[in-house]
């Protein structure tokens, strides 16, 4: 197994970095010693972008995924790309406008779980629209949810990560909001994403990338609330103001 240092965990704003080619797998996937490319996980799509070689030529990256374990990050080139040499140093460039939208959207999903404090049954972060599914039977008005979301955005609360150990998580079961997905156990450390001074707004386990202050999310609204079965509601978050 080839472990990759995930630079995006400490600095989600790193749009470029240098990485050394550690391996190329049998399907052409490129493994590096370190990367700023986020691998698809927890409902957030992996990064796309390109690697720049010493001679200035480019290797376009169409997807980033985990390999055999979460510690392994595989960069999947588009078709017909040159294969880099093992040991070669590459300048890594993520598609930053896309990633930044995903960071804003992902952060907005956390705020939605504050406004709607129900167990989460699914989530998917997208560039233009994200969805979060809740185990709830209550009828809820999208205008009032949108308004509460914007109060949290405009409150400009800090967003930061903090590591805790498994014992601390076990002592605080309320931190886990997902109904079916448990944070990975066995690794010893769990990354909590906190919102607000001293995490006063929210904290929950998450390995994704987020903006550092809620105001960066900008204008968002609930585009739609769908009923998915008797006890499930699907919320669709979109950028921009709620259309009047
Ligand atoms: Zn998150």
Average pLDDT over every residue of 137-155: 95
Q: For residue 209, report the distance from its CA to the centre of ligand 1, in Å.
A: 6
Q: What is the pLDDT of residues 159-168, one digit of tens each?
A: 999 999 988 8
- pLDDT for 161 equals 96
Q: For residue 173, report the distance from its CA to the centre of ligand 1, in Å.
A: 17
What are the φ/ψ torsions at residue 156 (nearest 5 degrees)?
A: 45, 60
DSSP class of residue 213 equals B
Q: CA-CA distance, 171 to 23, in Å (whole number)? A: 40
- pLDDT for 139 equals 85
> CB within 8 A of 176, min separation 6: which ones?
169, 182, 183, 204, 205
Q: C-alpha angle 239/114/242, rounded to 5°?
A: 25
What are the φ/ψ torsions at residue 110 (nearest 5 degrees)?
A: -60, -45
Q: For residue 161, report the distance from its CA to the centre of ligand 1, in Å.
A: 10
The overall average pLDDT reported for the chain is 94
Query: Within the chain, where are the H helices?
Result: 7-10, 96-115, 142-154, 166-171
Q: What is the pLDDT of residues 75-100, one digit of tens each?
A: 999 999 999 999 999 999 999 999 99
Token reading at 86: 């093992």
How, if at all, do strands 34-35 and 120-124 pair? unpaired
Q: What is the pLDDT of residues 35-77, one digit of tens each?
A: 999 999 989 999 999 999 999 999 999 999 999 888 999 999 9
Q: For residue 201, report the distance from its CA to the centre of ligand 1, in Å.
A: 14
Beta bridge partners of 58: 52
- What is this structure's pTM? 0.95
Q: For residue 101, report the distance from its CA to the centre of ligand 1, in Å.
A: 13
Torsion, CA 96, CA 98, CA 99, CA 103, rounded to 10? 130
Q: For residue 196, report the distance from its CA to the centre of ligand 1, in Å.
A: 14
Q: For residue 102, report the distance from its CA to the centre of ligand 1, in Å.
A: 10
Decide if 107 contacts 210 (C-beta within 8 A).
yes
- pLDDT for 182 equals 67
What are the φ/ψ torsions at residue 15 (nearest 5 degrees)?
A: -90, -20
Q: For residue 182, report the distance from its CA to the centre of ligand 1, in Å.
A: 14
Q: For residue 134, report the distance from its CA to the centre of ligand 1, in Å.
A: 16
Q: C-alpha angle 168/206/93, rounded to 5°?
A: 140
Q: For residue 49, report the distance from its CA to the centre of ligand 1, in Å.
A: 22
Q: For residue 42, report the distance from its CA to the centre of ligand 1, in Å.
A: 8
Q: Band of the pLDDT at 234, cuts 50, 70, 90?
A: very high
Q: For residue 37, report the distance from its CA to the centre of ligand 1, in Å.
A: 16
Q: For residue 206, report the distance from its CA to the centre of ligand 1, in Å.
A: 5
Q: Band of the pLDDT at 183, cuts 50, 70, 90?
A: low
> CB within 8 A of 186, min separation 6: which ones?
none
pLDDT at residue 186 tops 90: no
What are the φ/ψ torsions at residue 204 (nearest 5 degrees)?
A: -160, 150
């Amino acid at each position: 197994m080839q472990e990759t240092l995930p630079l995006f965990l400490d600095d989600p704003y790193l749009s470029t970095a240098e990485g050394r080619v550690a391996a190329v797998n049998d399907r052409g996937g490129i493994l590096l010693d370190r990367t700023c490319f986020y691998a698809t996980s927890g409902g957030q799509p992996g990064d796309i972008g390109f690697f720049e070689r010493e001679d200035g030529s480019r290797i376009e990256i169409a997807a980033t995924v985990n390999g055999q374990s979460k510690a392994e990050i595989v960069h999947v080139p588009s078709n017909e790309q040159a294969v880099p040499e093992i040991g070669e140093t590459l300048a890594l460039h993520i598609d930053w406008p896309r990633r930044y939208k995903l960071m804003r959207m992902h952060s907005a999903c956390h705020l939605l779980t504050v406004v709607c404090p129900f167990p989460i049954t699914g989530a998917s972060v997208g560039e233009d629209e994200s969805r979060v599914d809740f185990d709830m039977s209550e009828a809820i008005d999208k205008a009032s949810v949108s308004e509460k979301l914007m109060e949290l955005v405009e409150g400009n609360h800090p967003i930061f990560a903090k590591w805790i150990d498994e014992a601390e998580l076990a002592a605080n079961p309320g931190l886990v909001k997902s109904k079916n997905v448990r944070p990975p156990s066995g690794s010893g450390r769990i990354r909590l994403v906190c919102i607000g001074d001293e995490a006063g707004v929210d904290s929950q386990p998450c390995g994704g990338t987020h903006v550092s202050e809620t105001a960066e999310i900008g204008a968002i609204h609930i585009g739609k609330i769908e009923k998915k079965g008797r006890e499930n509601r699907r919320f669709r978050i979109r950028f921009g103001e709620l259309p009047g």
